[in-house]
Amino acid sequence: MRTSCTALRIHVSASDVPTNVSVEERQPSRNPFARSDGRPKRLRSSTWKTFAGSPVAVVGATVVVAVLLFCFVGPLVYHTDQVHTNLAHVRVAPGREFPLGTDDLGYNVLGRLMVGGRESMDVGIAAALLASIVGTLFGAVAGFVGGAVDALMMRVVDALISVPALLLLLLIASIFRPTLTVMIVAIALVSWVVPARLVRGEARALRSREFVEAAVGEGAGIWRIIFRHIIPNVAGVVVVQTTFQVADAILLLAALSFLGLGPAPPATNWGGMLNAGLNYAYANDWWLIYPAGIAIVVTVVAFNLLGDALRDALDVRLQRR
């Protein structure tokens, strides 16, 4: 009798299992944050579709790529001498030989625009990357640790934000010789506070999530949690902010060079070209002012458009998460 009851229970329990249930449905649900899950791939696909389908993204990315090609590939195709002066061709109006004319030292303005743009892009991109790296690490530590450490670290950020960035740059440029490396480090020193505040806010929200608490419960160290869980989940915010930081760095370098505190000649950038061209503003030598000014405006607007498009595309990713 006992044997027949056991067989009956086994038969009933087996008949209750639907035969059309797939293997994936019978398995327990996976952690949505696990790397083995297929969800990140779908999120990347959705993010790319949103980004590529935005007219703002297309315009911004196209202009940025065109500016990079103009600055870095242009000098390889259009060869000009940007080291030795040529007093026989001083302030020549635009024509067939010189498409954008020459400046007060005989330099080809079109070639100088390429060389100056290359320096502006080098400083802008390098300073933005350095500021983002420092700000991300600083903000991640402050947000995850919290408490008195967070309060102390944020007071440092508040103190630096309260001082105008241009004033700090003028102080640094007056103390050190304004070389390319000094400009990169100086601009990064006044720019890292913004990503630090953004990452700190994201880190404070992430430290209460289940996967972070699970890592803490397993005994993972602070740096392992920060590099394994915090930073990968704030990468979208950092990428968007870095795009804006490039535009800000280009403007800061242009402002310093316009005030005469940029790298010394024969090195130049778009701000230095503006500074030199303003001396002949009343002589109707428009080609000494407009090309550099237009290049600054177009590049900064393009990076801002690219940042806006990236933010919109990554918002879809965050909403689906």
Question: Each residue of 194-252: pLDDT tens digit?
Answer: 999 999 999 998 888 888 888 888 888 888 888 988 898 888 889 999 999 999 999 99
Identify the three-state secondary structure at position 267: coil
Q: Is residue 293 part of a domain?
A: yes
Note down the domain range covering 290.
39-80+100-320
Task: Confirm whether 163 is domain-assigned.
Answer: yes
Q: What is the model's pTM?
A: 0.80
Residue 308 within a domain: yes
Domains in the chain, number? 1
Helix (H, G, I), strand (E, B) or coil at 188: helix
Note the pLDDT tens digit of each residue in 131-144: 999 999 999 999 99
Specify the pLDDT at position 22.
Answer: 40
Judged against a pLDDT cut of 60, whether residue 291 lies above it is answered with yes
HSE-up of residue 75 (Cα within 13 Å, Cβ side)? 17
Q: What is the chain's mean pLDDT, rounded? A: 82
CATH code for position 224 = 1.10.3720.10
> Residue 106: inside a domain, yes or no?
yes
Residue type, 56: V
> Is residue 55 a part of any domain in this protein?
yes
